[in-house]
Amino acid sequence: MRGTRLLQLLSALSVVFACSDDHGEDGAHHHEHTRRAAAPNTVTPPSRPLEWGDINIIHTTDSHGWLLGHQKASFPEPNYSGDFGDFASFVAHMKEIAIKRDVDLLLVDSGDLHDGTGLSDGFPPGGVDAHDSNKFFSQLPYDLLAVGNHELYIYANALDTHQNFAPVFKGRYLSSNVNITVADKRGNPVSVPVGNRFAKFKTRKGRKVTSLGVLFNFMGSDKNITVQKVEDMVKETWFAEAIKEEPDLFLLAGHMPVAKDNWPVVFDAIRKVHPLTPIMILGGHTHIRDCLQLDGRSISLESGRYMETIGWLTAKLDHRGSHKHIKFSRRYLDPNRITFEYHTGRRNFSFDTLKGKFITTGLKALAKRFDLSFLFGTAPRDFTINQAPYPSENSLLTLFIEEVVPTAVAINNTRASIPNIIIANSGSQRFDIYSGPFTKNDQLTASPFTDAFLYIPDVPFDVASQVLPILNDAGAENRKRGLEGLLEAREETMYGLGYVDRRYMAWLEEMDRRNGVEKRAAANQTLGYVTHDSCPGVGDDTPHAPLLFNPVPDFIGSRPPNVSADAPIDLVFVDFIESQLLSILNKAQTVKVYTTADVATYSPFLTNQVFGLYAQGAWN
């Protein structure tokens, strides 16, 4: 979830479940937060065994608190139904296989453990985001981890990472270009790495590894957290010293996409010193499956989001100084028990390890402590962000802006009888809602952001009705108003602040456009990811048909009231877009210059509360 810091930064920019009848002591409905003992029978098994090399890597990234597995019955959710206890058992068995094969197996994570589900974000007042859920990560034998931008939006989260999480990994949690200011032993402020700048270690087989943990050029960190630009980092003396000695392998983990970002800057700096040393890059951040090779002796892998993908990367190493291309392989695994059992040669009765069972039990206990099973109501059908067109009755965005928000913000509101237009950014909704129990955890996953609802009173209807289309930069007339570069500038700025939905959606759109109609018509494959990357061979471990994709606008609005053109109405909007909206409102008319002085709070409820309020009435 975006932290308060991100909201402040972006708002300043002008560029613009059926449930049992059990009740708790408070009379509230609860729904047991369970997981399947095994993946559903409808889950498709992997298509072929994994390829093994001399160096083998299991990769996670952008987990965002999704440690209990995806628990809904609608596809593609069953593909990702394994929980972190299942994953722990999988890792343990794969380690045993690696020993039998007499090869190296490393476990790597590329950041963003915070913000996304109730396990990370549903903590009681006074807690710290992901402090409890991170303890489960600490129980796995990670060889290398890197900091993500979601660890940095709020200083308390970064400090908790620095003081309580990074030390667990004894120098293997890396933040090469990220510092945090803390007090030294005398109480004086000092800027230090959140983790370590680099790591040098030997594998079980004695191979020398040099590692970095690099974050993209992130501009949205909280006060007392600094992110050095990647191009400046490679000029540092410590960097030169770190890469001076040639290892058997450079292993680079970082929260930066493997394409269209700054990995080539790091890669080229290493290649100037070591032109032939194998380089393996594990990236993240844009939530997609991707792979490319910057040369014949390197490979870069990105492994999706939300524990929907487990990355598998291997290399068959040759002698030092060889000019030949290295044989690499990669695979994107759907994390469910059928996948895990297939690749470990185990069955349900022999798959679970003691630690895996312990982690699953702990996750369920944490969910209970955070009251994540609190039941608001039962969703009558699936509501999706992109699978259903916007607007439509199955669109989550239509439901949100036309039904949920108007209902929730009218509660105990003296202005509820005054006609209004409500505007929000579509990115405020982060995950689909599926039919069945709608719980506190579902609310946090679908609509996690803490945006407030503001309003400007007495805006003429004909003026207020222009704001949404101009925000979406619709039509040639709007371009005449000086908005030619609006979308491009906004995208660049929002990317720097950590906003990645546009890149993820572009990936889904391309996937559907490439072969969606044909594969779905065949009706012999379940829905899921269908990856086309730049590396040779087929990357997906399990064949799927791609999800239907429908584009959505950047901004969405409620149904306009039936009033005259000059009728005064309330223009209601989320604080996330306040600066942009004021700027555009002043472009739409010249009678009045609107400023923040004209803005007031419309409702005490935030965007992460409105679905619960709506569901308690409409879905019961």
Superfamily of the domain at 375-472+553-618: 5'-Nucleotidase, C-terminal domain (3.90.780.10)
* Strand-pair category, 55-60 with 310-316: antiparallel
DSSP designation for 50: P
Three-state SS annotation for 151-195: HCCCHHHHHHHHHHHHHHHCCCEECCCEEEEEECCCCCEEEEECC
- Encode pLDDT of 130-154 as tens digits: 999 999 999 999 999 999 999 999 9
Report the mean per-residue pLDDT for the chain: 92
Residue with tokens 């487990």: 310
Among the residue ranges 157-171, 206-220, 347-361, 516-530, the one predicted with the least confidence is 516-530
Residue 126: both structure tokens together:
């006074």
Whole-structure pTM value: 0.91
The C-alpha atoms of residue 600 and residue 574 are separated, in whole angstroms, by: 11
What pLDDT, on a 0 to 100 scale, did the predictor assign at position 473?
A: 79
Percent of the chain surpassing pLDDT 70: 91
Give me the mean pLDDT over the 500-527 stretch.
92
* Res 16: pLDDT: 32
Among residues of the chain, what percentage have pLDDT more than 90?
85
pLDDT of residue 6: 43
Closest CA to 213 of 143, 136, 164, 276: 143
Model pLDDT, residue 449: 87
Q: Kindly indicate the confidence band of residue 21, based on its pLDDT and cuts at 50, 70 and 90.
A: very low
Which of the pair, 9 or 75, is modelled with greater confidence?
A: 75
Q: What is the CATH number of domain 33-40+51-369?
A: 3.60.21.10
CA angle 424, 493, 285 (to 5 degrees): 90
pLDDT for the residue 478: 44
Predicted pLDDT of residue 486: 53
CA–CA separation, 161 vs 154, rounded Å? 11
Q: Is the pLDDT of residue 591 over 90?
A: yes
- Position 524 pLDDT exceeds 90: no
Mean pLDDT of 506-519: 94
Closest C-alpha among 557, 533, 542, 527 to residue 387:
527
Q: CATH 3.60.21.10 in the chain: give the residue spans.
A: 33-40+51-369
488 band by pLDDT with thresholds 50, 70 and 90: low
pLDDT category at 33 given cuts 50, 70, 90 is very low
Cβ count within 10 A of residue 322: 12
Cβ neighbors of 360 (< 8 A, separation 6 or more) are 35, 83, 84, 85, 86
Q: How far apart are the first and last CA of the chain?
A: 28
Question: Position 282: which residue type?
Answer: L
In this prediction, residues 190-196 reach a mean pLDDT of: 98
Give the lowest-confidence range in 266-270, 290-294, 524-528: 524-528
pLDDT of residue 76: 97
- Is residue 37 predicted with pLDDT exceeding 60? no
**What pLDDT score does 499 carry?**
85
pLDDT for residue 490? 66
Q: Is the pLDDT of residue 8 over 50?
A: no
Cis peptide before 391 (omega within 30 of 0): yes
Average pLDDT of span 591-616: 97
Q: Say whether pLDDT at 474 is over 70.
A: no
Distance CA 228, CA 231 (A): 8
Per-residue pLDDT averaged across 591-601, rounded? 97
Task: With cut-offs at 50, 70 and 90, classify the pLDDT of residue 22.
Answer: very low
Q: What is the pLDDT of residues 420-473, one digit of tens each?
A: 999 999 999 999 999 999 999 999 999 988 899 999 999 999 999 999 999 997
- Specify the pLDDT at position 19: 34
Region(s) of the chain under CATH 3.90.780.10: 375-472+553-618
What digits encode the pLDDT tens for the residues 342-392?
999 999 899 999 999 999 999 999 999 999 999 999 999 999 999 999 999
Per-residue model confidence as pLDDT tens digits over 390-411: 999 999 999 999 999 999 999 9
Position 230, amino acid = V
> Looking at the predicted structure, is the pLDDT value of residue 522 above 70?
yes
DSSP 349-362: HHH--HHHHHHHHH
Once rounded to an integer, what is the mean pLDDT over residues 307-318? 98
For residue 311, what pLDDT is reported? 98
**Is residue 29 scored above 70 in pLDDT?**
no
What is the enclosing helix (H) or strand (E) of 267? helix 263-273
H helix or E strand, kind and range, residue 603: strand 600-606
The mean pLDDT of 48-63, rounded to a whole number, is 98
Is the separation of the CB atoms in 113 and 136 below 8 Å? Answer: no
Q: How far is CA 476 from CA 15, 262, 472, 482, 484, in A?
A: 19, 35, 12, 11, 9
pLDDT of residue 129: 95
**Per-residue pLDDT at 116 exceeds 70:** yes
Q: Which is nearest to 65 in space by CA: 445, 373, 421, 580? A: 445
In sequence order, what are the residues at sequence separation of 6 or more whose Cβ sits closer than 8 angstroms to the Cβ of residue 385?
395, 396, 397, 426, 429, 431, 432, 552
pLDDT(23) > 90: no
